[in-house]
Structure 1
Amino acid sequence: MQATLKKGAVWAAFALGTTGVQAASRIDIDTLVSKSDAMLAKGAPTIAEKLGLSNGDLKTLHSQTLPNGKIITKYQQLYRGIPVLNSNVVEYRESSKAAPSLSGTVVQGIAGDVPAATPQLSSPAILNLAKSKVAKSRLEEEQVQLYVYLEDRQAARLVYLVSFFLPNGKQPSRPFFLMDANTGEVLQQWDGLAYAKAGGPGGNTKVGQYEFGVNYASLDVSNNCTMDNGSVKTINQNNSTDNLETAFQFACPRNTFKAVNGAYAPLNDAHFFGNATIKMYRDWFGLSPLPQQLVMRVHYAQGFEGAAWTGGSIIIGDGYNRFYPLVSADVLAHEISHGFTEQNAKLLYRSQAGGMNEAFSDMAGEALEYYLTDRNDFKVGVSITKTVDALRYMDNPPLDGRSKIHVSDMLPSDSVHYISGIYNKAFHLLATSPGWNTRKAFEVMVDANRLYWTPSSTFNEGACGVEQAAGNREYSVSQVSTAFNAVGVNCDNYKWLVEQLYLAYTGRPGEPAGLSLWTEHLQAAAAPKKLAQFIEAYSSNPGVKAIVDRFAQNPESLALYPAEPAGSYDGLITAVFQNAFGRPADAANSALWSGKLQSGQSSRNLAPIQILADALTSRNADRKNDALAAGKKISVSLRFTANVNEPAEIAAYSTPLANSKARNMLKTVNATTQVQDFVPAIDAAIADIVAKH
């Protein structure tokens, strides 16, 4: 489809500074690509003033110097000394450029919603109120932090983020509360418990026995064989849940204490792999994953089948029927890396941010395997499971029967452990891409965690951070995009939206030139990047209306949805369902959309994207397959467009015959299609298009 809108429209002005008292609003700082210098206020002496903030409103979190000399600094936005939740600024400096560029988000106009920065409830009062919700007397690792919080389309307010650890025998938990700092109202609540030179034996009856000092390096202990070397302290809990403090000590030079539940000496495994994780972070990134000494509590509780980061230490059970003692390399790196995430991105353990949190820890487990052995199995917990082969499968997440592999598979009720499969698969695809390995893939994830992810990041926002991290290291950004696109995740640019428009109105993938040009028009119109919001803007944004109308009136669209007698819409509705979901419209949906069209809630120009958006955002179980089918078609479209990259391919994909062949290929994609497995069909379709040109 040839785009004909006039070029030359400019980006909407960036709101620098505030005038008077206004309601709080979140502002995206999109200055990474070509426009950074133009968007910075000239002459402003500080970064804060460039962003319309007061001096002192940005606090340096950390700075990172990359091998190419680029210096990246992450800042936390403050309001009268209080951190603003999910508001961070990242600054980029290169020796060749005098002015820095910026990315991230800031909240402006907070004073209009929060005139007083002192909450009515104190930290002790809010902690006691949160404690009363769980009715437990013994609590550990109590944490309270005051924030400014801005929810979508609501006013900013002061909130407390409260958490503590409940030992509770075999079922420990770590409740989190997001509470209004003035009223004590619980806004959100969730369980954030993140689980999963001496010698001696290690291993278990599943993987066999090995010897530290022979098969692995020696155990790093003190001179008197105490498992405390400054970096790691390993404690024998002896099946207690008490908060013990004394590191385990054994008779030098070999520890054999104690065999349990099929494992030969879990204390040895825990101490070794805990130290190995610390060393991996130091060797690869020059930093420690935790700001304090790592404390590991082995033989925790009686029959505890888990391992967990409590906010201050790792508790490790001996397992029972389902698990051997949970002291494998990947499990321990997983738990330690929950601590890393808590210190950096602070990803909340819920929704998509929770899925990213879990996935990052799974990635760390594979990174440690690669650090120790130069190879990976991409299986989580394979050496400690009794009843199944592995706990999770990063190369094929659905093998465990519950994990998701594509965003269109997700349900609102899904656990963070199961939606983590989406990021896990993207990591596997990236780590095995040409020119990549597990270390490089983990490097960009660590950088994204430190610099770009925020507590409530979505999958798409997280992908943007990984792409930025790859660009900073001069790694292939396009390969990062390809890995995420394969699982239905896309950086919040316009590529995904353009492919949705092509699917809805032409039934085929976009061509590279069209993708580029329509992206420019969307940018010029300052169009929303999400389809539902894009549709909402149709009536108020002339640029959005022009784009939609141009797609709808294109000859391809008119051929796909031919004219009908006045007041008749059955043909249109059936064709849209067939095109987007691969099935005819059922009676209920046919009646629904016919009513919307007749009442003016929809139109022939809008209906294709409205019907598509309705399926993609629906929570009704009967629309799940429609969402899956459409999501897979869009992912395949992105891969198809990316693979049309040779001059002969670009020239060939420009005729009605080529469009028809691409459309026929996309018709074969359905709810069960695995995008990565479909790549040969994509390449075959492109080759056929070139051959027939």
Structure 2
Amino acid sequence: MRRGHIILIFLLGELMSMTWAAVRVDARIRAAETMSMRRSQTEQLRKRDKTPLSRSQLFKLTPGESLEEDTEVDDALGGKVERLHETYKGFKVYDTVVTVRKSKNGELTGDATGHFYQNIDEDVPNTEAKLSPNQALQIALKVENDDEENIGSVKTDKFIYVDKKDGNKAKLVYQLSYLIDGFKRPFYIIDANKGKVIQHWSGFNTYPCCERKYTAIGGNEKIGKITYGNMPYCLAPTIVNGTCYLENEYVRVVDMENTRHNNITETASFLCDEGYGDEVNGAYSPATDAFFYGTVVGKMFEEWFGGTALKEKIILRVHFSEYMENAFWNGVNCTFGDGGSDLYPLTSLDVVGHEIGHGITEQSSNLAYYDEHGGVNEAFSDIMGEAAERYLLESDFLTGGSIMKNSSYLREFETPENDGVSISKVSDMNDSIPVHFSSGVYRRVWYVLVKQEGMPIREAATVFLHANKMYWHSTASFHDCACGLLMAALDLGYSTLPFNVAFSDVGIDHCEVESHILGLNKNRTVSDITVTESVNPVFKFTTPEWADTLIVDATGTYPTWISVFIGGWEASNDACGEEKGEVIAEGIDTVYVPNAEDKQFYMKFSRHGSDMSNTTLIGFNAVDITAGYTCQQNFSEFNWWYLRDCGLKLPDY
């Protein structure tokens, strides 16, 4: 049995079989990583088999293994993107993610990226565990020196784990966690047969209009009073017989009454004409603030991203414990303390968005809360807070700026190291840096991306969210997450250039994502491509040596600007990276490129160009695109491929 990095490809000219290229790593399990296929050759396989490409064909799964769907979204390229995870005999395989592209009708295209494991059966012939879940829990409790009577929210999952520290051997394990509310949420991965602790970490993710029919104020001494009911501070409680309940379709608030009692679950409410009356520690109503800001985040996800933030309604618990200077996501809800000598109550918009962001990550990529992946986990939450600020008013590129009593902010984006502990360069990373401070690398990425490169926050946040849901995985590194962001940008039709500028700024190595660009087949129309002012999808097309003139055509609701590149798909002065290209032809709706023989072309479709100054640019443009070429005359009368491709008479044999 072996483990290797597998690249799924079709070699040009090899139409009869799938070729696997494997790099030997050691004598354990083989993994498939960074998989790609040439779309045209995949189509030829389909023609030969006359059946849709199946997962078993594409991934060569071994006994007991399968790939199951996590989620599926539409891309800007007229197709779908599906995220899969691996299972073995019905149990999930830890940290496996495969993302595939599918056609509009749901057929696999052959474009795949990610990693999974084969030959698991050689290490784990059966999935019966010698230890019970409770025995595994007792092991964790002993290590943590905790009493079982003090814990709650125990979660235990059995799955397959490939232990890199033990020769990449597959093991049956328990992942378990429990909660001591307000104190700790440890995670453990324990061998289900030997009882050995394989990995553990702390999973406490912390820190950080309408007709008015109520009386409600919020804010704190630092930012001043907020009178809810005046734009943009429209409150949307549920009103029943003069009582205002802090619940709506997006969020529900629970007042913990300065206790840690998990049996308090009822929705907070107040007499509408009196206000909530929970002033504390310089804040005028943390419950009302939390409700309003949670609603802002919920509305942002509905309007900006077309969905909900979490799988269930957002629950925000306020007034937790006495003067707790903390806020956290505990796997179920977001909880906020009343602050203390250094902090006002932690119910600011960016902190509320931050904690909800942890819930998004746990329900999407599940980035583990340590090392580089923990830093990205924290940064993503800070980014969600900034996105929510921009959705309401304006982002300040600071985390906790409105709740700090003795300083200007908790963390910042422009120069993260100004706090004396955060880093902004990958070269400064080491295992001892806590995740709140290693998050500075991706906070700096965000700042360069939206502040220096000018990418709108809504678009940048959309790419981060798509990457979190579709490409990132539990132990993704800084580099892995960067590659996922680039693939997400390509899926959604956004430029990769500002991302690469931001990655270069923090020292993240270049990602090769050319194979992720969707290839077009000759004269085969791809329908319903999304083209807007900001969504500019890119495709590629390869011509043979007998091609004469490339022809690219676009038909849509509005005129479409076509740019044809050679050498890459982004026009830039930066000489680094394969995305740097040169525009060799441009035009509206149809473009002709002479001397097109034996070249790789990239085509970008947009709503702007030098000849479109009088064109209406508003609205969504659903575009059908086609690429093809004319043939050189008398290229070679003995070239069978040329004769067949160009529709000429084939020789008799």
Indicate the residue corresponding to 2:235 in structure 1: 219
Q: Given the alignment, which residue of 270, 281, 284 partners 2:290? A: 270
Indicate the residue corresponding to 1:475 in structure 2: 494
- Amino acid in the other structure paired with 1:89: V
Q: Given the alignment, which residue of 36, 58, 78 partners 1:50? A: 58
> Any idea what the Cα deviations from partners look like across 1:275-326, whole Å, max 9, x if unmatched?
1112211222222121122221101111200100011111100100111000
Q: How does 1:193-592 map to 2 (within 5 A)?
A: 193-196=204-207, 198-224=214-240, 225-243=244-262, 244-253=264-273, 255-373=275-393, 375-434=394-453, 436-493=455-512
- Tell me if the contact between 1:328 and 1:383 (Cα under 8 Å) persists in the aligned partners: yes
SS at match of 1:133: helix
- Tell me if the contact between 1:341 and 1:449 (Cα under 8 Å) persists in the aligned partners: yes
Give the whole-Å Cα distance in 2 for the aligned partners of 1:218 and 1:253.
Answer: 16
SS at match of 2:367: coil
- Tell me if the contact between 1:176 and 1:192 (Cα under 8 Å) persists in the aligned partners: yes
Distance 1:38 1:478, change over 3 A: farther
- Amino acid in the other structure paired with 1:174: R
Identity %: 30
Indicate the residue corresponding to 1:64 in structure 2: 73
TM-superposed CA distance for 1:645, in Å, is: 6.5
Distance 1:177 1:39, change over 3 A: farther
Q: Given the alignment, which residue of 2, 24, 39 partners 2:29? A: 24
SS at match of 1:282: helix
TM-superposed CA distance for 1:494, in Å, is: 10
Give the whole-Å Cα distance in 2 for the aligned partners of 1:146 and 1:644.
Answer: 42
TM-superposed CA distance for 1:186, in Å, is: 1.0
Indicate the residue corresponding to 1:110 in structure 2: 120
Are residue 86 (structure 1) and residue 77 (structure 2) matched?
A: no
Indicate the residue corresponding to 1:509 in structure 2: none
Give the whole-Å Cα distance in 1 for the aligned partners of 2:440 and 2:455.
Answer: 20
Distance 1:122 1:53, change over 3 A: same
> Any idea what the Cα deviations from partners look like across 1:524-564, whole Å, max 9, x if unmatched?
xxxxxxxxxxxxxxxxxxxxxxxxxxxxxxxxxxxxxxxxx
- Tell me if the contact between 2:76 and 2:493 (Cα under 8 Å) persists in the aligned partners: no
Q: How does 1:589-604 map to 2 (within 5 A)?
A: none
For structure 2, list consecutive stretches of 5 or more residues without a partner in the other structure: 1-10, 208-212, 515-572, 583-653
TM-superposed CA distance for 1:39, in Å, is: 11
Give the whole-Å Cα distance in 2 for the aligned partners of 1:176 and 1:10.
Answer: 50
Give the whole-Å Cα distance in 2 for the aligned partners of 1:106 and 1:645.
Answer: 31
> Any idea what the Cα deviations from partners look like across 1:506-532, whole Å, max 9, x if unmatched?
xxxxxxxxxxxxxxxxxxxxxxxxxxx
- Amino acid in the other structure paired with 1:180: D
Give the whole-Å Cα distance in 2 for the aligned partners of 1:298 and 1:142.
Answer: 22
Distance 1:645 1:345, change over 3 A: closer
Give the whole-Å Cα distance in 2 for the aligned partners of 1:283 and 1:455.
Answer: 28
> Any idea what the Cα deviations from partners look like across 1:575-608, whole Å, max 9, x if unmatched?
xxxxxxxxxxxxxxxxxxxxxxxxxxxxxxxxxx
Indicate the residue corresponding to 1:500 in structure 2: none
For structure 1, list consecutive stretches of 5 or more residues without a partner in the other structure: 1-7, 496-637, 648-693
Q: Given the alignment, which residue of 181, 190, 193 partners 2:201? A: 190
Alignment TM-score, normalising by the size of structure 1 = 0.66
- Tell me if the contact between 1:32 and 1:103 (Cα under 8 Å) persists in the aligned partners: no
Give the whole-Å Cα distance in 2 for the aligned partners of 1:27 and 1:39.
Answer: 23
Distance 1:262 1:82, change over 3 A: same
Give the whole-Å Cα distance in 2 for the aligned partners of 1:36 and 1:297.
Answer: 54
> Any idea what the Cα deviations from partners look like across 1:616-669, whole Å, max 9, x if unmatched?
xxxxxxxxxxxxxxxxxxxxxx9664699798xxxxxxxxxxxxxxxxxxxxxx
- Tell me if the contact between 1:14 and 1:39 (Cα under 8 Å) persists in the aligned partners: no
Indicate the residue corresponding to 2:82 in structure 1: 73
SS at match of 2:85: strand
SS at match of 1:206: coil
Distance 1:36 1:379, change over 3 A: farther
Distance 1:95 1:189, change over 3 A: closer
Give the whole-Å Cα distance in 1 for the aligned partners of 2:433 and 2:45.
Answer: 42
Alignment TM-score, normalising by the size of structure 2 = 0.70
Give the whole-Å Cα distance in 2 for the aligned partners of 1:644 and 1:156.
Answer: 38
> Any idea what the Cα deviations from partners look like across 1:145-181, whole Å, max 9, x if unmatched?
122111334211112111111125xxx1111111111
SS at match of 2:401: coil
Give the whole-Å Cα distance in 2 for the aligned partners of 1:357 and 1:99.
Answer: 31
Q: Given the alignment, which residue of 188, 199, 203 partners 1:177? A: 188
- Tell me if the contact between 2:100 and 2:108 (Cα under 8 Å) persists in the aligned partners: no
Distance 1:46 1:16, change over 3 A: farther
> Any idea what the Cα deviations from partners look like across 1:114-159, whole Å, max 9, x if unmatched?
1112222232332333234332322222211122111334211112
TM-superposed CA distance for 1:80, in Å, is: 0.6
Give the whole-Å Cα distance in 2 for the aligned partners of 1:412 and 1:481.
Answer: 25
SS at match of 1:92: strand
TM-superposed CA distance for 1:432, in Å, is: 2.7
How many residue pairs match? The answer is 491
Q: Given the alignment, which residue of 168, 171, 174 partners 1:157? A: 171
- Tell me if the contact between 2:36 and 2:110 (Cα under 8 Å) persists in the aligned partners: no
TM-superposed CA distance for 1:182, in Å, is: 1.1
Give the whole-Å Cα distance in 2 for the aligned partners of 1:415 and 1:84.
Answer: 27
SS at match of 1:160: strand
TM-superposed CA distance for 1:361, in Å, is: 0.3
- Tell me if the contact between 1:23 and 1:110 (Cα under 8 Å) persists in the aligned partners: no
Give the whole-Å Cα distance in 2 for the aligned partners of 1:38 and 1:405.
Answer: 45
Indicate the residue corresponding to 1:122 in structure 2: 132
- Tell me if the contact between 2:250 and 2:294 (Cα under 8 Å) persists in the aligned partners: no
Give the whole-Å Cα distance in 1 for the aligned partners of 2:579 and 2:55.
Answer: 41
- Tell me if the contact between 1:74 and 1:89 (Cα under 8 Å) persists in the aligned partners: yes
Give the whole-Å Cα distance in 2 for the aligned partners of 1:16 and 1:106.
Answer: 15
> Any idea what the Cα deviations from partners look like across 1:244-285, whole Å, max 9, x if unmatched?
111111001452421111111111100111111122112222
Give the whole-Å Cα distance in 2 for the aligned partners of 1:376 and 1:449.
Answer: 21
Indicate the residue corresponding to 1:558 in structure 2: none
- Amino acid in the other structure paired with 2:156: V
More strand by share: 2
TM-superposed CA distance for 1:10, in Å, is: 12
Indicate the RMSD between aligned Cα atoms, in angstroms: 3.0
SS at match of 1:150: strand
Give the whole-Å Cα distance in 1 for the aligned partners of 2:41 and 2:215.
Answer: 56
More deviation in 34-43 or 130-139?
Answer: 34-43
More deviation in 349-358 or 217-226?
Answer: 217-226
